[in-house]
Amino acid sequence: MKKFNKRGFLFFIAFMLMASTFLPIVFVNLPPIVRSHHIWTALWVISLLFLYPKIFLNSIVKLVLAYGVFMYLIFYSELFINIGDWNRSQLMNEFYSISIGISVITYFRIEGDFFRLAKLVKWTVFFIFVTSILTIVTAILEPSYARSMTGLSAITTQSEIDYFVSFKKYGGGTYGFAAALVCISPLIIYCLRNIEEGTLKKAYLMVVIICAFIGLLGTQIFANIIISTFVIIFSLMGSKKINGILLLSSIVILTLLLIPNSFYADLLKNISYLFPDDSEIYFKLNETARFISIGNYTSTAITVRADRYPLLLNSFFANPLSGHYFAGLTNDIGEGAHLHWMNKLASYGLLGSLPFFYIIYTFIKGSLKYFQKEFVFYFLLAVLSIVVLGLMKALAGREMWYMFFVIVPGLYYLPLHKKRNTINADNSLDSTISQQPQA
């Protein structure tokens, strides 16, 4: 009788977790039970409990679980009575995605199964490629699909809701997928610069990043597009030119400060003509131009969002320990959450926010010891992209957190595919793997 392959089984469950997240075209058309991501997360947790319980003794996993218990207890205390249902739901979903993502990457690190991690990442990049193409197709059919799917709760008629939901069958990405595309850009460029041709065809990776960026344009989420553009530029400049990047950035900033605002306004208006005049990007570019020209122009969404910062800040200072109900914002529907990091501080205070920030810090610090110097630059760019995005938008969706915790660090191991041709999967693959630190 063939021996049960524990590694292979856990890889399969992890594969289904990524597929059910990054390949919606398949899963939205499967039977209800099979297509549920929750089924695969339940199987993953149960499998770890029975097949790999030592993962729960890992320091970062224990930290995440302690954070979950802590937040559950204080959520039902008087400290957080005013945070609202929207924020409660958002925090639960965030914990759900982060705990699964961290458990996946931690399993592969503890087990030292870096080949299968590379295999998982390689497949996920393919899923992202397919979904990027389908996002482009869906955006052609309905340009406002991604934005409307994000704000279904704001749509008042059932017929309109049904209309936008009907486009799910085409497998286009939505809000979380758009954030994931921002995060992955630096690492794809790292692979283009550093991996050997036999690992993944560089032409394929080039097509992936082009389709991903066009797909991002299709989502019409303006902040993601802007951040992705800058991150790609810095990634193309490379880590060896970091001093040059800092010098050039300083010169550019000083130069930009001397240029009249009217120049930027005109430039943005001219760029907007590249997009359909009924698109969100066209609207946002012209709105930004108007904001630059006039200043605190009250009819722009930019001003409305900028005005939330002092409101959130005042809310935080009103009760820095455990947060406070927003003054001037309808917190119950999550208006403040459009500014993710500031909303977290204002809603939960230091008591609820610092443990979360510590988990992120611990993960980043622990990950750096696995990487060579060249990869660190691109990894930190990916981290920075999410930090900046959280200053401008809400961070939501398991796509982004799985990308952050699993795919981004996992891309480091893609070169193992070429070396795997002559080495057994259950043995050490090379000297690099044998030198990896314990998780």
Give me the pLDDT at residue 424, please. Answer: 43
Among the residue ranges 3-12, 68-77, 266-275, 317-326, the one predicted with the least confidence is: 266-275
Give me the pLDDT at residue 113, please. Answer: 92
pLDDT digits (tens, 9 = 90+) for 217-233: 888 787 888 888 888 88
pLDDT digits (tens, 9 = 90+) for 348-371: 888 888 999 999 999 999 999 999
* Mean pLDDT of all residues in 370-399: 88
* Mean pLDDT of all residues in 281-310: 64
In the predicted structure, residue 14 carries a pLDDT above the cut 70: yes
3-state SS of the chain is CCCCCHHHHHHHHHHHHHHHHHCHHHHCCCCHHHHCHHHHHHHHHHHHHHHCHHHHHCHHHHHHHHHHHHHHHHHCCHHHCCCCHHHHHHHHHHHHHHHHHHHHHHHHHHHCCHHHHHHHHHHHHHHHHHHHHHHHHHHHHCCCHHHHHHCHHHCCCHHHHHHHHHHHHHCCCCHHHHHHHHHHHHHHHHHHHHCCCCCCCHHHHHHHHHHHHHHHHHHCCHHHHHHHHHHHHHHHHCHHHHHHHHHHHHHHHHHHHHCCHHHHHHHHHHHHCCCCCCCHHHHHHHHHHHHHHHCCCCCCHHHHHHHHHHHHHHHHHHCCCCCCCCCCCCHHHCHHHHCHHHHHHHHHHHHHHHHHHHHHHHHHHHHHCCCCHHHHHHHHHHHHHHHHHHHHCCCCCHHHHHHHHHHHHHHHHCCHHHHHHHCCCCCCCCHHHHCCCCC
More confident residue, 147 or 376: 376
More confident residue, 256 or 65: 65
In the predicted structure, residue 325 carries a pLDDT above the cut 90: no
pLDDT digits (tens, 9 = 90+) for 35-64: 788 899 999 999 999 999 999 999 999 999
Give me the pLDDT at residue 195, please. Answer: 73
In the predicted structure, residue 380 carries a pLDDT above the cut 80: yes
In the predicted structure, residue 191 carries a pLDDT above the cut 80: yes
